[in-house]
Amino acid sequence: MPGRVLKGNEIRDQILADLGGEVARLAGKNIRPGLAAVLVGDDPASQIYVRNKIEACGRIGLFSETIRPSAESTTEEILAIVQGLNERDDIDGILVQLPLSDHVDENKVLLAIRPEKDVDGFHPMNVGKLATGQPTLTPCTPTGLIEILKRSDIPIEGKSAVIVGRSNIVGKPVALLLLAEHATVTICHSRTQDLVAVCREADILVAAIGRPAMITHEFIRPGATVLDVGINRVSDAAVVEQLFANTPKRLARFREKGSAVVGDVHPEHMRELAGAYTPVPGGVGPLTIAMLMSNTVKAARLRRG
């Protein structure tokens, strides 16, 4: 029997509805949380991401502003923009859309964002607070994974959680968040011995390695919860036809577009073996923007005591 699909769009809508109520309560105290997005250059994908984030702000009543420096802007010019936003009291969250141009020092720009306005949750001070169990702004995708589990009534406490991937963006922070929920956590990577055996011990398996359909049936313990973070674009027809052999609609879309979005877990194997799982697309992705909104509201609360 196929596993339960954890529908990210539905969970996102629940979170945004909750946030809308909180924003309305803050408005009664003359507080309107604000998010500023810095979009450098004309990258089409970045423009779509920022537009979606700004639309989400409007949906729940946040103030939002997009600043669009040219692709030729120097590190110093972008730093000046960030510093200006740091000083503005109407801005609670600052988002610098990545990637930046090659000539810009990306790390320097991100470090310039004040930790209390770092709604991506990447600043070392926020990472340190997360590691030591202090209230802070946490990375959006990992926090979204926890929300998926909690809002789907999937137990975390006492469960074995295995994470495939050790990135600073997903792997490490989701390990810390799962530890905070009292899971027993294992992080795997390219040097892990007998990766298959380790993964098969998982009650909760998080795939965040960036390799299309790498996690196949032998990795998945029957009945496990599988959270697929991967977003991989595949254009090889033979690969796509093998992955979606039993999903005619996905194959039809591939033949129309010439590419398909695939997660890090084989979709058919995940559907057949997992007790519950996030599809790709429509699983983890929608939660990332929802948690960005949540962090902006949280930043407004923390900044104002």
**Residues with catalytic function:** 53, 97, 120
Decide: 72 and 40 in contact? Cβ < 8 Å. no
Structure tokens at 137: 């702004």
- Identify whether the C-beta of residue 96 lies closer than 8 Å to the C-beta of residue 83: no
Question: Which amino acid appears at position 152 of this protein?
Answer: S
Task: Give CA–CA dist 42/166, Å, rounded.
Answer: 31
Residue 210 φ/ψ region, left for φ over 0, alpha for ψ in the -120 to 50 degree band, beta for the rest: left
Query: Angle of helix 285-303 relative to helix 44-60, nearest 10 degrees?
Result: 60
Among left, alpha and beta (phi > 0; psi -120 to 50; other), residue 170 is: alpha
DSSP 60-120: HT-EEEEE---TT--HHHHHHHHHHHHH-TT--EEEEPSPPPTTS-HHHHHHHS-GGGBTT
**In a 10 Å sphere around its CB, with 0-12 CB exposed, 13-18 middle and 19+ buried, how is residue 214 labelled?**
middle
Q: Percentage helix, strand, coil, to 5, in the chain? A: 45, 15, 40
Q: Are 251 and 241 in contact (CB under 8 A)?
A: yes
